[in-house]
């Protein structure tokens, strides 16, 4: 049984979460109206997951999160408004150790319960499986290259000879940060699906763009895939890669969720298998579920080099495990090695097989 502690000053939100979790027999809910009450309840019975509002009386959620992650780390899911200050603060919470974000309802409670129950329950289960650690580093916020110099000017823009496709979910924001910050300005073009609500992806891309030597942006329909650029799929839109003559471009699509997600890693990987084949590298990172496993297998069958993050460095090993189990993976690496493995695979160096 998963023990969930909901910390939110809104009585409506607390009752909503109780109603949602009644439909999931494996989740038991306790509630607290603010972090001080929550601390008492945690001392009495340590929860498996904390669902945390950010703006609350007596102690704000970010301060409470820092306290949890410094003293006794727990999987924390941030419950955030979808716009304005809530977006930036929620991304800061991910940097401070939260494992995921859920969005507060913008519609009636009845509609929210009908449309969001499955997503919220999946998020809670994914968080319960997460392995969290004390925070050793926050984002630097700024814009220096590895040698301490200023972020260099954008490199000459040309079509990438290789396409790197990356899929991630729970824990993926920090994994992506580590990989992208390690890449030089002439790195091959990347297309990324990170499971994240709409609006948050644009802010996430902006923050990465500030700390990376490559350009990072939320993808727009028709964007070219070029060296020195990473395109992040917008929340709630599928992304595909298509060949346009000598160029690769992305298309954004609506449509139903695939593998329970929109954007879906499977949608991206399958399109890369068709469009790029042997000119592609596929990477599957930390996350719950099996999104990406089938698509990565198609990439491998098309001749792409495929990489999975290892269990020891994954916050949740579900997505990499499923890809490995179905035979989709050429190589398994710890997170710290993946940027180098991408560059090795795209530079023509000999690939290491798992």
Phi, then psi, of 253 in degrees rounded to 5:
-135, 150
Within the chain, how many helices (H) and strands (E) appear? Answer: 11, 14
Q: Which helix (H) or strand (E) holds 283?
A: strand 280-284
- Return the structure tokens found at 236: 């709630």
Distance CA 203, CA 206 (A): 5
Q: 169 catalytic, yes or no?
A: yes
Q: Which of 80, 90, 169, 264 is catalytic?
A: 169
Rounded alpha-carbon distances, angstroms, from residue 119 to 95, 125, 130 = 22, 10, 17
Rounded alpha-carbon distances, angstroms, from residue 169 to 28, 195, 257, 262 = 24, 5, 15, 12
Query: What residues contact 272, with CB distance under 8 A and at least 6 apart?
Result: 163, 165, 191, 241, 280, 282, 295, 299, 304
Q: Which of 195, 238, 261, 333 is catalytic?
A: 195
Please answer whether residues 291 and 170 qualify as being in contact, where contact means their C-beta atoms are separated by less than 8 angstroms.
no
Cα of 240 vs its chain's centroid, Å: 18
Q: Which of 291, 310, 314, 333 is catalytic?
A: 291
Q: Which residues are catalytic?
A: 169, 195, 291
């Amino acid at each position: 049984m998963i023990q969930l502690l909901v910390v939110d000053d809104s009585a409506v939100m607390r009752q909503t979460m109780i109603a949602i979790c009644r439909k999931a027999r494996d989740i038991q809910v306790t509630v607290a109206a603010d972090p001080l009450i929550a601390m008492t309840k945690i001392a009495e019975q340590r929860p498996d997951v904390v669902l945390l509002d950010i703006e609350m009386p007596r102690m704000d959620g970010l301060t409470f999160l820092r306290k949890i992650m410094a003293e006794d780390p727990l999987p924390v899911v941030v419950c955030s408004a979808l716009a304005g200050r809530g977006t930036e603060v929620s991304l800061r919470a991910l940097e401070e150790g939260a494992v995921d974000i859920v969005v507060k309802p913008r519609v009636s409670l009845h509609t929210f319960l009908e449309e969001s129950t499955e997503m919220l329950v999946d998020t809670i289960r994914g968080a319960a499986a997460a392995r969290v650690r004390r925070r050793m580093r926050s984002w630097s916020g700024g814009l220096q290259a590895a040698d301490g110099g200023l972020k260099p000017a954008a490199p000459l823009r040309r079509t990438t000879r290789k396409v790197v496709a990356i899929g991630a979910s729970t824990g993926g924001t920090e994994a992506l940060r580590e990989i992208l910050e390690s890449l030089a300005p002439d790195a091959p073009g990347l297309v990324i699906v990170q499971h994240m609500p709409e609006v948050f992806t644009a802010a996430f891309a902006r923050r990465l763009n500030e700390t990376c030597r490559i350009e990072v942006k939320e993808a727009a329909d028709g964007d070219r895939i070029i060296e020195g650029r990473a395109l992040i799929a917008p929340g709630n839109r599928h992304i595909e890669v298509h060949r346009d003559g000598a160029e690769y471009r992305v298309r954004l699509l609506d449509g139903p969720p695939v593998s329970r997600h929109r954007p879906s890693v499977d949608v991206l990987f399958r399109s890369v298998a068709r469009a790029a084949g042997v000119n592609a590298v596929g990477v599957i990172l930390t996350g719950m579920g099996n999104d990406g496993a089938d698509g990565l297998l198609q990439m491998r069958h098309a001749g792409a080099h495929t990489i999975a993050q290892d269990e020891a460095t994954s916050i949740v090993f579900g997505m990499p495990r499923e890809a490995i189990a179905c035979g989709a993976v050429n190589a398994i690496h710890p997170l710290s090695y993946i940027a180098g493995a991408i560059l090795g695979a795209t530079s023509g160096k000999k690939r290491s097989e798992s």
